[in-house]
Amino acid sequence: MDGWNSETALEVLPAVWRGFIVVLQVTLVAGLIAVALGLLVAIGERVGPTWLKRVVSGFFQFVRNTPLLVQVLFVWTATSYYINPEWSAFAVGSAVLGVHYASYTSESYRAGIEAIPKGQWEAATALSLPAHRTWGAVVLPQMMRRSTAAVTNWIIAMFKEVPTLFAIGVLEMISQIQKYQGQHYTGDIEGYTIAGILFLAASYPIAVAARRLENRLAKSHF
C-alpha cells in the first residue's frame, strides 16, 4: 500500500461524500424508528398486558445479545428469499438498525419513566386524570427531559454503525471506497482517512452537546 497521495484523495473524495450522504439518510430513517419504536415499547411495558411484556422483553433481549451484523445478514437473506426480493438493501438495513437501537432507547425511556416520583402518579389518580392526560401532561414531558441525553448518545452510536450495512450492498462510505479501489486499484488510506474525518466531524459536536445536556439535566430538579 502506498503512502498518502493528495491527488488520490481528491479523486476518491466525491465517492466518499456520496457514501456519507447515504450514511446520513440511513441514520435519519433508522433514528426515527429507534426513537418512535423505543417510546412505544417503553409505554407498552408500563401499561400493556403481561403476556405482551414477556414477548417484547424476550425479543429485545435477543436483539441486544446478538451481533448487529448477524441480524442484518439474517433479515436481508430472509426478506430476499422468502418475502420480497424487490425490497432495497437501504430499506431493510435501515429497519434492522432502527429496531436494534430501539431495544436500547426503550431502556432509556423506561428509566426516565421509572424515575418519576410515585407521588405524581398517585396525584394524577387522585385527580381522576384520564390516561392520555396523565401520560401527555405529567409523564412524557418529564421522561423526555430525563431521557433525551441518553437517547441522543444511542443515535450517535447508531450513526457510527451504519457502515455495517456494506455487508448487504448499501452504498455507504465503506462500500464506495471499496468500489473505488476495485476500479482504480488504489485509494486505501486516503478513502478511509476521509471517511474517519467525516464521521468525527459529524458525531463529535453532537456528542459534546449531548454531554453538556446530560450534565445540565443532572443538575436540574424536576
Which residues contact residue 97 at a Cβ distance below 8 angstroms, ignoring those fewer than 6 apart? 26, 30, 33, 34, 68, 72, 158, 161, 162, 164, 165
Query: pTM of the prediction?
Result: 0.86
Res. 92: pLDDT tops 90? yes
Mean pLDDT for 49-75 is 91
Smallest CA-to-CA distance from 47 within 99, 108, 120, 121 is with: 121
**pLDDT tens digits for range 145-202:** 888 888 988 999 999 999 999 999 898 888 888 888 777 766 568 888 888 999 899 8
- Out of 1.10.3720.10, 3.40.50.150, 3.40.109.10, 1.10.600.10, select the CATH number for domain 6-219: 1.10.3720.10
pLDDT of residue 26: 95
